Structure 1
């Protein structure tokens, strides 16, 4: 009788699910890998020239008003240790840990594929999604924490570690070179493409799919200055989907990011931009759209009214005056239809246009820009003409207009090597006063490894991010 109790007395988790089938792993993938509730890098926009700050005590100022700039101050002013805020609070950067968690999870899934219960097609689909996410995760890590990609020095410049582990490990990881990391990224995205092609058919925009894989491949090639490949992959985006660009119209009562927008290829993740860029007046400091970005839109550009909310109000202190501001309006984190981030068809036009511009194919680049603008401008608007600085600058400005506040600008600035950038941290008490900060060293385009990883991994190579003090 006692021996029969053996199995009953064994310790086992009552809520542990051991995945065995492809379906089980797909569910695990959705929760652990996609994890659309995460916002991994809320700071990304505030380091760019697309934002400025504004202090404002509105028509009905509160006795205690919030300063929504404080958590992002260290990123906005390009501090050497951006996890330490203006009042010495610690705000953890979770992007490193989260992306490497995704990488570990898909390593495990890819390793377990042959043993999973399910059809070959189901396994190919899960493999495609896994390779896609691993490529995307390394791409994001490389452009946050690695040195900018330069063709001539890619085999020497340090990027981020490559993790090949298929279980939890305390192994100290060292940085690989840009050449090694991007070879890994390219290999993964090409495997994803082959898997999705084998599966065939159309997928929901809420899972990685063939058109989004081609688009990511185009982006990866563009960042490596492999312009011919960027064009070929962009061509493949158009061949793999029949969805059209979304036609903007005046007084559109829908968010640009919605199920009505059929140019969205993959919808994922969340945003907290609405926490720091608000149109209401119950604050004493926040971030708003920069004048420089607003001025890029002409009066017949429907993106100005569809992508941004214009607000006018009367400030009461420190000096009474009328105030106007723009805040982003492409999405709402409370939208019930799509997530707050997207791979969109318009990027394929812009990637192909930039690649052609860099290759000197001016007319082909302009053709792509003008086709995109057919869906963005008021009817009858004249075609876009060359910027006085040439076709490359023409494309870069259109890219900035189209992709504003979608996480592209910081990565574009660092790959262009734009210097200097300047931000003013405005005084809450003295009208017209504030501290001016400048990003003048390209080393500042590389974020420091988060404290959580530095404390754990004592062997990883560290970069010194320049100190950032107010300009005297």
Structure 2
């Protein structure tokens, strides 16, 4: 127990990154599986203030957010909103220094690179020592699977932030991200390897992690990784790789364990989606979440924020339904399950209302949920329909879409395959549905735009309506791979920056 206390105090004082750099891992080792479980929970899992990075922040790079005005004369909000605008300005404008130190009013985001690696080190501690610990063998095996799956999750994010998509060019040649697979102190300065190499490791970690957790089940909360969630993450990874059959296979493995969907039209309880406390129906694995404040937030509740959901995103909810009969609950502002949040305020004595933001959780965000997995499988089936005319696959994909939509839309009218003039039309519906269902969640829109052709995006940034500047991310722009922070390059001479 003294060893555990020492290691935990050291980790708390220095942090995992400093601890691993300054202390030999051979000197202090946890002795029991309970010791290591505490370290895993503290060092491999995201805290409630970190999870937004794995949730919505890349929305600033996409077509989901627009720049807006705020009342600079209102002293109660002007300072906060000025900081909020500056915090995200460089990301919104595709500045390749977005992760480096900037002006006084700007906030660097170097943790986009460093935080996943810190959590990977926590995973590696468990993987290095688990076999030598005292305790129940089943529990040790589960813990090992948990650490593997978490590591796969973090690398899936890293490679989709800082490397080109798997589906662009040659993934066996395009630079990936460095793989760190041991926790011990070393002089090694790993290079980036390849995108294909990183995905190969992700596949290994998630598949072996799922196998170990399912073979050695434990009674844990939704905030702990589990085998079904790891299968869901595999379906996500294979979708990003364009491996449709594998995506379908692992989505099917999820549904053997959990195929539930939350039924929005009848839900009237308190809370937002996806809350573990109030709406756990389809959560496979959740991360603790605390609504960001200050410069970490995106929008303000009482006044028009400098950042708002884009008109394109808001208008998507009016498409693909019969407005005389169907009602998309995700866009119904009076409903507890609405994704769209209405802002209301008296401005210059006049009551004003606007779509002020998108808010999905009050205590957690869905690390992965069945709603996403249905969309993964639907797209994989429909891609097969587009590529080889397999109408059976097309119908299966449409069945998944109909099931999801029937749980989101009141008085839903089921769509038929013959409603679509071509397989591409069905795929377009599927991609629109991903945008409606997964907006501002899991960084999905940015990752989807990367893997589906890296289209042109145009942003307008302004402080005053009369003085707008245009910033463009061109089709296949190399900035679809984000810049590695300067501090990371300075620490590791073997790292190479993305070429712009």
Task: Tell me the TM-score range normalised by the shorter chain.
Answer: 0.7 to 0.9
SS in 2 for 1:390: helix
Is the Cα contact below 8 Å between 2:283 and 2:366 reproduced in 1?
Answer: no
Please report how far the alpha carbon of residue 247 of structure 1 lies from its aligned counterpart in structure 2 after TM superposition: 0.9
Give distance in 2, aligned partners of 1:197 and 1:113: 18
Alignment of 1:105-254 (within 5 A): 105-150=122-167, 153-200=170-217, 203-241=220-258, 244-249=260-265, 253-254=270-271
SS in 1 for 2:459: strand
Is the Cα contact below 8 Å between 1:110 and 1:130 reproduced in 2?
Answer: yes
Match of 2:331 in 1: 304
Superposition TM-score, scaled by structure 2 size: 0.82
In the superposition, relative to structure 1, how do residues 201 and 101 fare at CA in structure 2: closer, same or farther (>3 Å)?
closer
Give distance in 1, aligned partners of 2:34 and 2:7: 21
Match of 1:268 in 2: 287
**Structure with the higher fraction of residues in helix conformation:** 2
In the superposition, relative to structure 1, how do residues 88 and 444 fare at CA in structure 2: closer, same or farther (>3 Å)?
farther
Structure 2 residue 94 is the aligned partner of structure 1 residue 75: no
SS in 1 for 2:273: coil
Is the Cα contact below 8 Å between 2:378 and 2:398 reproduced in 1?
Answer: yes
Runs of 4+ in structure 1 deviating by more than 6 angstroms, as ranges, are 58-61
Please report how far the alpha carbon of residue 150 of structure 1 lies from its aligned counterpart in structure 2 after TM superposition: 2.4
Is the Cα contact below 8 Å between 2:142 and 2:217 reproduced in 1?
Answer: no
- Report which stretch shifted further, 342-351 or 433-442: 433-442
* Residue correspondences, number: 442
- Report which stretch shifted further, 202-211 or 13-22: 13-22
Structure 2 residue 323 is the aligned partner of structure 1 residue 293: no
In the superposition, relative to structure 1, how do residues 13 and 220 fare at CA in structure 2: closer, same or farther (>3 Å)?
closer
Q: Which runs of 5+ in 2 are unaligned?
A: 1-5, 11-27, 333-337, 386-392
Among 46, 50, 59, which residue is 2:64 paired with?
Answer: 50
Match of 1:348 in 2: 373
- Report which stretch shifted further, 103-112 or 196-205: 196-205
Superposition TM-score, scaled by structure 1 size: 0.86
Structure 2 residue 445 is the aligned partner of structure 1 residue 423: no
Match of 2:469 in 1: 435
Give distance in 1, aligned partners of 2:477 and 2:78: 39
Match of 1:7 in 2: none
SS in 2 for 1:139: helix
Is the Cα contact below 8 Å between 2:168 and 2:451 reproduced in 1?
Answer: no
Structure 2 residue 435 is the aligned partner of structure 1 residue 400: yes
Is the Cα contact below 8 Å between 2:343 and 2:354 reproduced in 1?
Answer: yes
Give distance in 2, aligned partners of 1:322 and 1:13: 55
In the superposition, relative to structure 1, how do residues 269 and 354 fare at CA in structure 2: closer, same or farther (>3 Å)?
same
Give distance in 2, aligned partners of 1:50 and 1:212: 27
Is the Cα contact below 8 Å between 1:234 and 1:352 reproduced in 2?
Answer: yes
Please report how far the alpha carbon of residue 115 of structure 1 lies from its aligned counterpart in structure 2 after TM superposition: 0.8
In the superposition, relative to structure 1, how do residues 301 and 64 fare at CA in structure 2: closer, same or farther (>3 Å)?
closer
In the superposition, relative to structure 1, how do residues 257 and 457 fare at CA in structure 2: closer, same or farther (>3 Å)?
same
SS in 1 for 2:265: coil
Match of 1:22 in 2: 33
Match of 1:373 in 2: 405
Among 354, 358, 373, which residue is 1:328 paired with?
Answer: 358
Please report how far the alpha carbon of residue 315 of structure 1 lies from its aligned counterpart in structure 2 after TM superposition: 4.6
Please report how far the alpha carbon of residue 218 of structure 1 lies from its aligned counterpart in structure 2 after TM superposition: 0.5
Please report how far the alpha carbon of residue 166 of structure 1 lies from its aligned counterpart in structure 2 after TM superposition: 2.8
Name the Cα RMSD after superposition.
Answer: 2.7
Please report how far the alpha carbon of residue 113 of structure 1 lies from its aligned counterpart in structure 2 after TM superposition: 1.7
Is the Cα contact below 8 Å between 2:165 and 2:451 reproduced in 1?
Answer: yes
Please report how far the alpha carbon of residue 312 of structure 1 lies from its aligned counterpart in structure 2 after TM superposition: 4.4
- CA deviation map 1:223-247 (0-9, x unaligned): 1111001001000101022x62111
Please report how far the alpha carbon of residue 219 of structure 1 lies from its aligned counterpart in structure 2 after TM superposition: 0.6
Give distance in 2, aligned partners of 1:14 and 1:191: 28
